[in-house]
Amino acid sequence: MQCYFSFIIPVYNRPGEIQELLESISIQTFDRSFEVVVIEDGSEDSAKEVVDSYQGKLNIRYIFKDNSGPGDSRNVGMQKAAGDYFLILDSDCVLPTDYLAIVDKNLQEEYVHCFGGPDAAKKSFTILQRAINYSLTSPLTTGGIRGGKKTLTRFQPRSFNMGISREAFLRSGGFGKIHPGEDPDLVIRLWQLGYVTRLFADAHVYHKRRIEASSFMRQVYKFGLVRAILNHWHPDSQRFVYWLPTLFCAGIIDMGLYFLLGWTFMSTAVAIIYGMYLGLIFLHALVTTRNFLVAVLSPFTTIIQFLGYGYGFIKSTILVNFMKRNPQTAFPQLFF
């Protein structure tokens, strides 16, 4: 089944970032036509000049709209796109030259209405970027849920590297108003409609996250908040694995009480288990990234990830699922 592809790319105040992505799209080895739709989400620092510079190199369109979040921006792009299959990317991604050819090959072999691909880090990325990428994608930290070859549950595509057919978009209504979390919410609704999602393990992107340790903590904290809200909206999606970061936090608190106040519950055993686990993280990161500094930093980014997510998850679970607070009232910063 041949597809006419439309890239859907929301952008917000990052013209330099999208230039890297557009350049990587312009040198794709794919031998059929496709289009690129860039949606400017009310930015003050416009990307229009950058997009205009690719007229003639790409079949590209620029759409400016008021700020309403990335989910709604993607919906606007898909509504105006000409393709029958949409490829959704974050503006901080860069594509390998054979990305589109690989996606097309996978769809030709086994068509699916929604797929996701993994993210990777280039060697040119900073040490912190590569360590954060490891923590977010490693099977030892997320179970591969963000793009590993094996997952603990059905694969949930993420909108930094996601494909969806026009049919599935129209039937589902597209992304919701929550952010982050608009992508797993959409995927769960697609499952409810009977659609299958699949991982295209060889269709990776280079995800150049421009974040520091503090902003990474805020990001994963929001991930935790959102997961509990999704559990509330979609009770069938609840899994024990989502509680693991919160349990990790409990162990950290236990050890903290021991070292600070001398209180102990099972701190010695916890410390041994945590030491072994973080040591395994270091060794696995060393083997997979082949960089000693990335491996040294990866246990720390993993701790940040689990603390932020775990705290957000238990806070949201208590307020939304136990105290029955309206998610939008409890966490208005997550909604557009």
- Within a domain: 222: no
| pLDDT score of 264 more than 70 | no
Verify that 281 and 201 share a domain, yes or no: no
pLDDT of residue 253 exceeding 60: yes
74: left (phi over 0), alpha (psi -120 to 50) or beta: alpha
* Cβ neighbours of 258 (radius 10 Å): 17
- The dihedrals phi and psi of 238, each to the nearest 5 degrees, come to -65, 135
Q: What are phi and psi of 86, to 5 degrees?
A: -105, 135
Q: pLDDT class for 209, splitting at 50, 70, 90?
A: confident
Q: How far apart are CA 31 and CA 36, in angstroms?
A: 15
Chain-centroid distance of CA 140 in Å reads 17
Dihedral of CA 33/52/74/147: which sign?
positive
Please name the helix (run of DSSP H) or strand (run of DSSP E) that holds residue 197, with its range, or none. strand 197-199
Same domain? For 246 and 294 the reply is: yes
pLDDT band at 204 (very low <50, low <70, confident <90, very high): very high
Q: Is the pLDDT of residue 88 over 60?
A: yes
User: Tens of pLDDT along 139-166?
Assistant: 898 765 554 554 445 789 999 999 999 9
Give the pLDDT confidence score for residue 186 in this predicted structure: 97
Structure tokens that stand for 324 in this block = 């029955």
Counting DSSP H helices and E strands in the chain, the numbers are 12, 10
Between CA 306 and CA 119 the distance in angstroms is 19
For residues 268-290, give the mean pLDDT. 90
CATH number of the domain residue 203 falls in: 3.90.550.10
Please give the pLDDT value at position 120: 86
Tell me: do 184 and 316 sit in the same domain: no
Domain count, the chain: 2
Q: For the whole model, what pTM was predicted?
A: 0.90
* pLDDT, position 145: 55
Residue 279 has what pLDDT? 96
Spatial separation of the C-alpha atoms in residues 197 and 111, rounded to whole Å: 10
Res 107: pLDDT: 96
pLDDT of residue 152: 45
Question: Residue 315's domain spans which residues?
Answer: 228-330
Identity of residue 154: R
Q: Where are the beta strands (DSSP E) in 200-305?
A: 205-207
pLDDT at residue 273 greater than cutoff 80: yes
Average confidence (pLDDT) over 166-179: 96
Of 92, 81, 73, 79, the C-alpha closest to 6 is: 81
Residue 39 shares a structural domain with residue 184: yes
Q: What is the mean pLDDT of the chain?
A: 91
H or E element at residue 198: strand 197-199
Higher pLDDT, 55 or 260: 55
Q: With a cut of 80, say whether residue 270 has pLDDT above it.
A: no
pLDDT over threshold 60, residue 99: yes
The interaxial angle of helices 213-233 and 292-316, nearest 10 deg, is: 40
Q: Is residue 219 part of a domain?
A: no
